[in-house]
């Protein structure tokens, strides 16, 4: 059966970092998205779409704004329960909160509980796709993909591999990292809406042998993504120099082990050398901006100028990030850019949270867009969800002014409806 979803529409037809931002999208004040069999069938003027599909069911959201579902390109579902934990710096935070919590994921029941909780929190905030680190335990990966399949969501994930500088109960080996990851990849990659990601946590917690093993696995399965962390904090960068004295820079610790490529996702990427910037752009890799995490843990200010040279995705990085909301993440990205003397346009922020992140995940043409033929993952935003937002939006001169207060002040109350593969999550 065809369903028509009515409301305001924003449809990107260009990258707002490559063209004048306000010209990158088309606004339909009264638009419709026709959905059938989990995909977008047609999109455009509401009257025209209704005339073409007279027998379709109609869900009318009035003046609410229909967008692609948000795409979170880097997060840690095992850290959901420790989000917003007081801490000092990255390494202290990992040792105090993250590693003890991740040790609990050897219990499959616990892993299943947190995976479901994470996905439900994400959906409540309008996020329909996520790319997550799991834990060292293969069962944590199974729990993640099973929970997503139960909800019909497109997600990515992988076993987090560590064979040094981690507690004994969170270490594997080069051999077991390869073997476990390969088994999980063969079990899950391409099954339904699941995508496997080769996942070394970061260079300090993997020996060169383990990095070699994971680089070999990625080379054997080049259609998979690879995710890790890069240059998040100054003391981390110095630590990497001590651990890899022969490396040219932090990125080289991945490059020399086969872990640099177009399908690579490099979280944070704040304190980059010029060679690192050039190589990431040259190979077509993606930098993933995690603004709430970078400010919460005091990592630094990401340079959004990278978006003019390479693909940049946007991410909550929960639980290092302090919010499950991509609206709050967009607001933080705006604030970080301001501190670097750059004012991001609302079009650029919305692009990063949808099609930009989808491109980083090599899922453009599937998610992150309202184009016909793509998967019908949608978020419907109330642009007057609180009195403070409503009074500001009422004075808006265009759709960007109307959307910006929700970007800056919105939360889950702004999410009126979420569709996953065309299915509404709340009663219409």
Q: What's the CATH code of the domain at 45?
A: 2.30.40.10
Determine, yes or no, domain membership for 242.
Answer: yes
Can you tell me the distance from the alpha carbon of 374 to that of 393, in angstroms, rounded to the nearest whole number? 30
Strand, helix or coil at 221? Answer: coil
Same domain, residue pair 220 and 129: yes
pLDDT attached to residue 427: 58
Can you tell me the distance from the alpha carbon of 426 to that of 418, in angstroms, rounded to the nearest whole number? 7
Q: Report in angstroms the alpha-carbon separations of 339 from 291, 333, 335.
A: 12, 10, 6
Pick from 310, 337, 360: which residue ends a domain?
360
Same domain, residue pair 410 and 341: no
181 neighbors 217 (Cβ within 8 angstroms): yes
Q: Bridge-partner residues for 28, per DSSP?
A: 9
Contacts of residue 322, defined as CB under 8 A and 6 or more positions apart, other chains included, come to 83, 84, 292, 293, 296
Same domain, residue pair 418 and 272: no
Up-side HSE of residue 32: CA atoms within 13 Å toward CB?
22
How many domains does one find in the chain? 2
Same domain, residue pair 51 and 139: no
Up-side HSE of residue 223: CA atoms within 13 Å toward CB?
6
- Cis upstream peptide for 319 (omega within 30°): yes
Same domain, residue pair 11 and 136: no
Supply the range of the domain harboring residue 49: 3-68+370-424
- Maximum pairwise Cα distance, the chain: 68
Determine, yes or no, domain membership for 365.
Answer: no
Pick from 315, 335, 360: which residue ends a domain?
360
Same domain, residue pair 279 and 327: yes
104 neighbors 167 (Cβ within 8 angstroms): no
Same domain, residue pair 333 and 374: no
Pick from 330, 360, 390: which residue ends a domain?
360
243 CB-contact burial (10 Å; exposed 0-12 / middle 13-18 / buried 19+): middle
Closest CA to 254 of 233, 276, 284: 276
Listed in order, strand segments (DSSP E) in 183-302 are 194-200, 225-230, 264-268, 286-289
Q: Indicate the pairing of strand 25-36 with strand 39-45.
A: antiparallel
CA 2 to chain centre: 29
Q: Report in angstroms the alpha-carbon separations of 336 from 44, 292, 341, 404.
A: 35, 9, 9, 16
Can you tell me the distance from the alpha carbon of 399 to that of 401, in angstroms, rounded to the nearest whole number? 5
Q: Indicate the pairing of strand 194-200 with strand 154-158.
A: parallel
73 neighbors 154 (Cβ within 8 angstroms): no
* Opening angle at CA 414, ends 412 and 419, nearest 5: 80
Same domain, residue pair 389 and 345: no
Q: What is the DSSP string of 328-348?
A: HHHHHHHHHHHHTT----HHH
**DSSP letter, residue 153:** -
Tally Cβ neighbours within 10 Å of residue 372.
13
Q: Output the CA torsion sign for 188, 205, 235, 241.
A: negative
Can you tell me the distance from the alpha carbon of 237 to that of 250, in angstroms, rounded to the nearest whole number? 7
Can you tell me the distance from the alpha carbon of 239 to that of 219, in angstroms, rounded to the nearest whole number? 27
- Which residue do the tokens 């069911």 mark? 57
Sequential pLDDT tens for the chain (428 residues): 899 999 999 999 999 999 999 999 999 999 999 999 999 999 999 999 999 999 999 999 999 999 999 999 999 999 999 898 887 777 787 888 888 899 999 999 999 999 999 999 999 999 999 999 999 999 999 999 999 999 999 999 999 999 999 999 999 999 999 999 999 999 999 999 999 999 999 999 999 999 999 999 999 999 999 999 999 999 999 999 999 999 999 999 999 999 999 999 999 999 999 999 999 999 999 999 999 999 998 999 999 999 999 999 999 999 888 999 999 999 999 999 999 999 999 999 999 999 999 999 999 999 999 999 999 999 999 999 999 999 999 999 999 999 999 999 999 999 999 999 999 997 55
Same domain, residue pair 53 and 78: no
What the block records as the tokens of 213 is 């093993």
Same domain, residue pair 180 and 316: yes
CATH classification of the domain holding 242 = 3.20.20.140
Same domain, residue pair 313 and 184: yes
Determine, yes or no, domain membership for 129.
Answer: yes
Can you tell me the distance from the alpha carbon of 268 to that of 228, in angstroms, rounded to the nearest whole number? 9
Global pTM? 0.97
What the block records as the tokens of 92 is 């202290």
* Opening angle at CA 38, ends 37 and 40, nearest 5: 95
The pair phi, psi for residue 9, each rounded to 5°, is -125, 145
Can you tell me the distance from the alpha carbon of 149 to that of 192, in angstroms, rounded to the nearest whole number? 7
Same domain, residue pair 193 and 327: yes
């Amino acid at each position: 059966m065809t369903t028509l979803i009515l409301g305001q529409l924003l449809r990107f037809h260009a990258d707002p970092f490559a063209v004048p931002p306000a010209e990158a999208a088309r606004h339909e004040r009264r638009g419709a998205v026709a959905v059938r069999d989990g995909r977008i069938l047609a999109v455009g003027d509401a009257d025209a779409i209704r005339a073409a599909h007279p027998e379709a069911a109609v869900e009318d959201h009035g003046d609410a704004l229909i967008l692609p579902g948000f795409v979170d390109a880097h997060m840690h579902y095992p850290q959901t329960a420790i989000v917003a934990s007081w801490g000092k710096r990255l390494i202290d935070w990992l040792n105090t909160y993250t590693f003890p919590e991740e040790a609990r994921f050897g219990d499959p029941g616990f892993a299943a509980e947190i995976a479901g909780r994470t996905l439900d929190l994400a959906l409540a905030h309008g996020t329909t796709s996520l790319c997550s680190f799991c834990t060292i335990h293969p069962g944590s990966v199974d729990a993640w993909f099973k929970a997503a399949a139960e909800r019909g969501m497109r997600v990515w994930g992988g076993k987090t591999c560590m064979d040094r500088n981690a507690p004994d109960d969170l270490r594997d080996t080069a051999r077991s990292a390869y073997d476990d990851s390969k088994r999980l990849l063969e079990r899950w990659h391409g099954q339904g809406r699941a995508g496997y990601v080769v996942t070394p946590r970061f260079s300090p917690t993997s020996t060169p042998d383990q990095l070699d093993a994971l680089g070999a696995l990625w080379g054997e399965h080049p259609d998979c993504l690879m995710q890790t962390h890069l240059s998040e904090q100054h003391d981390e960068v110095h630590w990497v120099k001590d651990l890899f004295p022969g490396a040219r820079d932090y990125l080289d610790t991945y490059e020399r082990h086969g872990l640099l490529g177009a399908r690579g996702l490099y979280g944070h990427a704040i304190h980059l050398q010029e060679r690192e910037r050039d190589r990431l752009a040259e190979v077509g890799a993606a930098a993933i901006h995690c603004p709430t995490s970078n400010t919460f843990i005091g990592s630094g200010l990401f340079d959004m100028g990278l978006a003019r040279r390479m693909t940049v995705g946007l991410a909550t990085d929960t639980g290092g990030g302090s919010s499950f909301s991509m609206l709050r993440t967009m607001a933080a990205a705006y604030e970080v850019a301001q501190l670097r003397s750059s004012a991001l346009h609302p079009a650029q922020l919305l692009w990063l949270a949808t099609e930009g992140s989808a491109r980083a995940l090599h899922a453009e043409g599937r998610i992150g867009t309202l184009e016909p033929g793509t998967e019908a993952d949608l978020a419907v935003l109330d642009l007057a969800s609180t009195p403070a937002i409503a009074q500001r939006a009422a004075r808006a001169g265009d759709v960007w002014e109307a959307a910006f207060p929700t970007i800056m002040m919105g939360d889950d109350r702004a999410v009126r409806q979420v569709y996953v593969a065309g299915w509404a999550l709340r009663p219409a």
